Amino acid sequence: MNRLKDKVAVIYGNGAIGAATAKAFAREGATIFLTGLTEEKLNTIADEIQWDGGTIEVTQLNALDEQAVERHMDYVIKKAGKVDISFNAIGIYQKDVGHIPLLELSVDSFSLPINIYTESHFITAKAAAKRMIKQGNGVVLMHTANLSHISAPLAGGRGPAWAAMESLCRSISVECGEHGVRSVCLFTTAIPETPIIEEAFKELYEGHAKNQGIPIEQFNTMVASGTHRKRLTTMKELTDSAIFAASDEGSAITGTVLNLTAGMIA
C-alpha cells in the first residue's frame, strides 16, 4: 500500500529520526529530498533507500541557513514540480547539561536548544509553506517530546524549545490552513533507539541513579513506567504516524500534536 505515492517530501536532518522517516516515506512511494550536515551519513541513507527501490536525492545543508534552505526549496520545485511534505527532524544533544540544575545553568546553555529548534523550524516551515500555499496543499511536520508538557528536573531549555515549536505549529495552521496547508507535531516520549536519547539516558543514569546502586535496567524501567503501557515510543511508531499524518488519510489533522506518548501525557 503506497500511501505517499506521487508525493514529494523534503526532510531536514540525517540523524536517526531523519533517516528512519526518509526510508519509511520512500517505502510508501514518496520521492525524497533529504538534507543534513554530514555527507557520509546522507550518502549511506541514500544508498539504502535506492537499494530498496526508493527515489531519493541528498544535499548537504544547514537548516539554520535561511538562504540555503530557500535555494534548496527552489531547486526541489524546479526538479519535482511541488513539495507535499516538509519534515524538520534535526536534533541536538548538549553534553553535561543533564547534571546542571536550572538555576546554575548559563544563559547560553539554556538558550541553545530554544534558538536552534525554533529558528530552524521557522526557516524550513516558512520555505515549505510559501510554496504549498501557491499549490493549494501540503503538510509541515515537526517532532516534539513529552518535556513540552511535563516538568522534569535538569532538562535545560529543551522543554521550552519544544513548547515553542508546538505553538509555531498552531500558528502555521491558523494562518495557512485556509490555503490547504496543514501543520502537525508528532509528539512522543523519548525514543531510546536514537543516539541522542541513548546518550541522554546514560548521562541521567550516571548522574542520578548509578550512585544509588540502581541497575541500568531498573532505571530504564522506571523511565518507561510513566506511560500507561510501561514502555516508551518506538521509532516505528513515530514513522508509522508520520506516514499517516502526511498522507491523505490524515487530512483532518492540523494545528495540533499527534499524541504518541502512550498515556504519559493523557
pLDDT computed for residue 219 by the predictor: 72
Average pLDDT, the chain: 93
Cell triple for residue 114? Answer: 530554544
CATH code of domain 8-260:
3.40.50.720
- Choose among 13, 144, 150, 27: nearest CA to 89: 13
Coil, helix or strand at residue 234 = coil
- The answer for 156, left when phi > 0, alpha when psi is -120 to 50, beta otherwise, is left
| Domain positions in the chain | 8-260
Instruction: Tell me if 106 sits within 8 A of 97, measured CB to CB.
Output: no
Tens digits of residue pLDDT in 203-229: 665 556 666 677 767 877 888 999 999
Task: Using the predicted structure, report yes or no on whether residue 259 has a pLDDT greater than 70.
Answer: yes
For residue 122, give every residue at least 6 positions away whose Cβ sits within 8 Å of its Cβ, in sequence order, or none.
168
pLDDT computed for residue 205 by the predictor: 53
The three state secondary structure string of 7-42 is: CEEEEECCCHHHHHHHHHHHHCCCEEEEEECCHHHH
Residue 97's pLDDT band, with cuts at 50, 70 and 90, is confident
pLDDT computed for residue 140 by the predictor: 98
Rounded to the nearest 10°, the torsion over CA 48, 50, 56, 60 is: 50
pLDDT computed for residue 211 by the predictor: 61
| Mean pLDDT, range 16-39, rounded to an integer | 98
Instruction: Tell me if 15 sits within 8 A of 196, measured CB to CB.
Output: yes
Task: Using the predicted structure, report yes or no on whether residue 168 has a pLDDT greater than 90.
Answer: yes
Counting every residue written for the chain, the total comes to 266
Tens digits of residue pLDDT in 138-148: 999 999 999 99
pLDDT computed for residue 96 by the predictor: 75
Q: What predicted TM-score, i.e. pTM, was given to this entire model? A: 0.94
Instruction: Tell me if 181 sits within 8 A of 140, measured CB to CB.
Output: yes
- The answer for 13, left when phi > 0, alpha when psi is -120 to 50, beta otherwise, is left
pLDDT computed for residue 233 by the predictor: 96
Q: Calculate what percentage of the chain has a pLDDT beyond 70.
A: 94
For residue 218, give every residue at least 6 positions away whose Cβ sits within 8 Å of its Cβ, in sequence order, or none.
209
| Mean pLDDT, range 194-210, rounded to an integer | 67
